[in-house]
Structure 1
Amino acid sequence: MGSVDRWAGGVFAPGHLGELTRIVPFEMVDEVLAETRSAQRRVRRLPSRVVVYLLLAAGLFEGQGLGQVWARLVSGLEGPGWVPSSSVLAQARRRVGVAPLRALFDLLAGPPAGAVRWRGLLVCAMDGTTMSVPDSPANLAAYGHQSGSHGGSGYPLVRLVAVVACGTRTVLGAGFGRFATGETAYAPELFGCLKAGMLLLADRNFAVKALVAAIAGPQGTGADLLIRCKSNRPLPRLETLADRSWRSVLGGVPIRVIDAQITLTLSGGGHRTGHYRLITTLLDPRLHPAAEIVRLYHQRWEIETTYLELKSTMLGGRVLRSRTPQGADQEIYALLAVYQALRLAMADATAGGGLPADRASFTVALLAARDQVVHAAGVIAGTVIDLVGQIGRAVLDNPLPARRDRSCPRIVKRAISKHRAKGQVDRTNHRATLTIDILHPPELTPTPSP
């Protein structure tokens, strides 16, 4: 029949991810099943390896039930085959459990070879988001939901915190759980993916003494930090540097503080000005000039784009399928694993094709991957290994336009009410010219007497 039949025939034939099977090969799936003791004890009509690939494929087809995803896995295979019922699929999911999907994501997580670096540092970003799960009593008890005078969230919410490599947007680590637990409480779970040679970007929520010490302190991860903090946060000024940045200390960690005024001159006329205070463990202004650091901090938005791709492009804004916490955990790890596999395929293509990583279209890659699953195509490499493949060629043939500076209003673009909101709101995305002025530091803080 084809490569699928020769490589995984019989009951194992539906177990594939199209061309992405090269990144998530059979050996990898069998290894995590063995390590987590989740492999079947006897050969079933729905082996554990096939169930894992079914869950991964479900991440590519989030708007469809598992029965419909199964139909796409077998549509490129010869013969009508066996069609499992919904109860059989549910039992198979429970049998496999969460552990193999978590182990698989852990194996895939990390930056690709040749990831983009800034002055020798791998730039990463940490932030959190929420994902909605079905409104079942079990999910509500496990995750909770947002409350408030506005009525709160209609569905239970899972809080997700991740570390993403800027540029390639590959995921280095992720943790999730109850909504009531804050982002900074999940952050220590991700410290294992941080190491020397990395620069971690984060927003004001992470400018916490304990986190700064745990990441960049003497017993920390070895990674450097670049975090925004409140512009009026009191920090002692110990020394003024040549580029107007100044040295201070936070949580016992020596830091450098940069106060900057950023002005956006808009194409539609007018301008916007804001005051930003950044703290970093990059202490030498000659190696890491203040103006470059301020521009670099904009890369923190790469993780926001990652969450957009997960929640909007892949999920289509929909609620996850699973009505149990175990099923939801399993589904989230599968979603993260297949997202990472797509990102690794895109990174391989752009690295070899001379295209900047930020011009690779995730939507194009996702659609190409879906086609490869439906046709059961490119499951294994032929005698000549093609690292780019159909997904990579689609990405290279349909690049995004070069990135430009823009000012995007932080407002709801699709209103929940048909009635006009009060006041006039400019909803236009303007092209913008960015001007950065490093501000004079505050008065020198006297060194306290012993």
Structure 2
Amino acid sequence: MAGGRFAPGHLGELTQLVPFETVDEALRVTRSVQSRVRDLPSRVVVYLILAACLFPETGYPGVWRKLTGSLGGLPVAVPTASALAQARRRLGGKPLRWLFDLLRGPASTPHGPGSRWRGLLVVALDGTTMTVPDAPAVLRRFTKQAGNHGGTGYPQLRLLALVACGTRTLIDVVFNPTTAGETTYAPRLVPSLRPGMILLADRNFGAKGLLADIAATGAEVLVRLKSGRRMPVLARFPDGSHLSTLGELRVRVIDCEITVTTAAGKHTGHYRLATTLLGHHRHPAAELTALYHQRWEIETAYLELKSTILGGRVLRARTPEGIDQEIYALLVVYQLLRTAMADAAGTRPGTDPDRASFSIAWQTARDQVVLAAGVIADSVIDLAGTIGRHVLADPLPTRRLRVSPRLVKRAISKYQARGPRINRTSYTTSIDILTATGP
């Protein structure tokens, strides 16, 4: 442990991924170091805010008790809730954003069918909303969404992420009010794309200007388009795809029917996909259609953030500045957990990161904070660590094809929630893909 007033500043075993020196550098670069060492040094406050993301059900005084509970024999401060709030306000959000910018990026792992496809790193782009407190200061920046039942009870923010599908690690993120849509914020993520990537996106991102900007980075694109969109046919290929254009961008279009069969029956939908991969021999239409299914990995990442970590809770902060601080802290903690999981999978050749349980990693990380264990690495290098060993000891079963209804978990109105019973059953399924022979 660190000594003296710095002793409470840790994140259990995750401290090894964001060590004291890294936090100190974040504070130095953002000019957030305390002018004098008090009971709550800036480094300690950073770890307090990060630890709070592991314990969203507990107030900050409760989080402090978890950080200090195993520091028996060490003289530690017992700050009031007011002192903790003042310390968080003094720190601001810049150090947390600096840490996220340092840690973001695809975790390095050679395993897993969703990590790379024909040498291309598979990434996905999509957005979600998060609920923030209904406080006067918050409402100056974030608004409530309108609806048929009076709108949402809480204001919300819109978060857009670029995610590596194989490991579900965050490559880049932007968040802002919901007053603008996803396509307005998406261009801010384009600079994080690189040659050697293939971006999967839904039809909301099929704007020709946005796709041209993405293609200009050297990254490839596989995006769903609206089925009724008129597009010229410049050439036909034996795999059923055809050459076309989106503005000045040349794309290959794949029209297909996807039939999902479960015990409850069949459902067939028509999909139109466009890709900048123009060679039908090297990148067959059937394989691209199957690859598009990996886009749902970003939905799972959002589920882990909003359901596993937050438990569907409203964020804590009651000011716009505090929300920025809390969001970046949440993203840092998520990235640390995902990195630890990818590192553990990398120690066992052939292990798909998909089989690592996020819930087990999260619960183990919480335990390590309470125990103040693994804060500083031993002299013997342990690549998996306690978190990794727990994850590897109880892997998830090999993923099966399943479908389940996409539902709103929190009803806008309590009266609306009393409506007809909804079938929430998840079904095992088989998927058949039929590629059309013409536009």
Q: TM-score, normalised by structure 2?
A: 0.95
Looking at structure 2, the residues matched to 427 and 11 of structure 1 have their Cα atoms a distance apart, in angstroms, of 50
Name the aligned partner's letter for residue 273 of structure 2. Answer: L
* Aligned position for 2:29: 35
> Which residue of the partner structure matches residue 171 of structure 1?
170
Q: Which moved more, 1:355-364 or 1:107-116?
A: 107-116
Aligned counterpart, 2:252: 256
SS at match of 2:217: coil
Per mean C-alpha deviation after superposition, the further-off stretch among 119-128 and 248-257 is: 248-257
Match in the other structure for 2:348:
353
1:298-329 Cα deviation digits (max 9, x unpaired) = 11111111111101100000000011000011
Q: How far off is 1:417 after superposition?
A: 4.9
Q: Report if the CA contact (8 A) 1:246-1:258 is conserved.
A: yes
Asked if structure 2 preserves the Cα contact closer than 8 Å seen for 1:257 and 1:280, the reply is yes
Deviation at 1:407, TM superposition (A): 2.1
| Structure 1 runs of 4+ with >3 Å offset | 411-422, 424-427
* Post-superposition offset of 1:43: 1.4
Matched, 1:238 2:237: no
The equivalent residue for 1:430 is 427
Q: Distance in 1 between matches of 2:348 and 2:415?
A: 46
Check the 8 A contact 1:413/1:427 in 2, yes or no.
Answer: no
Q: What are the equivalent positions in structure 2 for 1:158-307 lying under 5 Å apart?
A: 158-216=157-215, 220-266=216-262, 268-307=263-302
Distance 1:369 1:107 in 2: 21
Q: CA 1:407–1:252 in 2, change beyond 3 Å: closer, same or farther?
A: same
Structure 2: unaligned runs, 5 residues or longer: none
Q: Which residue of 2 aligns with 1:151?
A: 150
Distance apart, 1:409 and its partner CA: 2.1
**Residues 1:425 and 1:155: Cα distance change in structure 2 (over 3 Å):** closer
Post-superposition Cα deviations, 1:192-235, rounded to whole Å, max 9, x if no partner, equal 2210001111111100111101110xxx2211111101111111
Equivalent of 2:12 in 13, 18, 36: 18
Distance 1:269 1:41, change over 3 A: closer
Question: How far does residue 75 in structure 1 lie from its aligned partner after superposition?
Answer: 1.0
Report the counterpart of residue 79 of structure 2 in structure 1. 84
2:345–2:392 Cα contact (<8 Å) kept: yes
Equivalent in the alignment of 2:95:
100
* Aligned equivalents of 1:438, 1:123: Cα separation in 2: 22
Aligned partners of 2:5 and 2:77 also within 8 Å: no
Q: Does 1:409 align with 2:408?
A: no
Q: Are the aligned partners of 1:212 and 1:251 in contact in 2 as well (CA < 8 Å)? A: no
CA–CA distance in structure 2, aligned partners of residues 141 and 51 of structure 1? 26
Quote the offset at 1:143 in angstroms: 1.1
Structural mapping, 1:307-318, within 5 Å: 307-318=302-313
Q: 2:4·2:76 contact (CA, 8 Å) conserved in 1? A: no
Looking at structure 2, the residues matched to 46 and 425 of structure 1 have their Cα atoms a distance apart, in angstroms, of 50
Q: Is 2:110 the counterpart of 1:111?
A: no
Judged with a 3 Å threshold, the aligned counterparts in structure 2 of structure 1 residues 269 and 46 are, in CA distance, closer, same or farther, namely closer
Deviations 1:251-310 (A, max 9, x none): 3111110001011121x1521111000111111111111111111111111111111110
SS at match of 1:367: helix
1:333-376 Cα deviation digits (max 9, x unpaired): 00000100000000000111232111111000000000000001
CA distance, structure 1, for counterparts of residue 38 and residue 397 of structure 2: 49
Contact map agreement 1:215 1:222 (CA 8 A) in 2: yes
Retained in 1: the 8 A contact 2:109–2:343? no
Structure 1 CA distance for aligned equivalents of residues 307 and 403 of structure 2:
21
Supply the distance in 1 between the matched residues of 2:417 and 2:228 (Cα, whole angstroms).
39
Q: Percent identity among equivalent residues?
A: 60
2:61 paired with 1:62: no
Query: Residues 368-379 of structure 1 correspond to what in structure 2 (within 5 A)?
Result: 368-379=364-375
Distance, in Å, in 2 between the alignment partners of 1:251 and 1:326 is: 40
Corresponding position: 1:440 with 2:434: no
Q: Give the Å deviation of 1:412.
A: 4.8
Q: Secondary structure at the match of 1:143?
A: coil
Q: 2:334 is matched with which residue?
A: 339
| Structure 1: segments with no counterpart, 5+ residues | 443-450
Query: TM-score w.r.t. structure 1 length?
Result: 0.93
Aligned length: 431
Deviation at 1:426, TM superposition (A): 4.2
Amino acid across the alignment from 1:19: E
Alpha-carbon separation, structure 1, partners of 2:91 and 2:423: 50
- 1:385 to 2:381 alignment: yes
Superposition deviation, residue 410 in structure 1 = 2.4
SS of equivalent residue, structure 1 residue 274: strand
Deviation at 1:136, TM superposition (A): 0.6
Q: CA RMSD in A?
A: 1.5
Given residue 194 of structure 2, which amino acid in structure 1 is its aligned partner? K
Distance (Å, rounded) in 2 between the aligned partners of 1:282 and 1:222: 11
CA shift, 1:105, in A, is: 0.4
Deviation at 1:420, TM superposition (A): 6.2
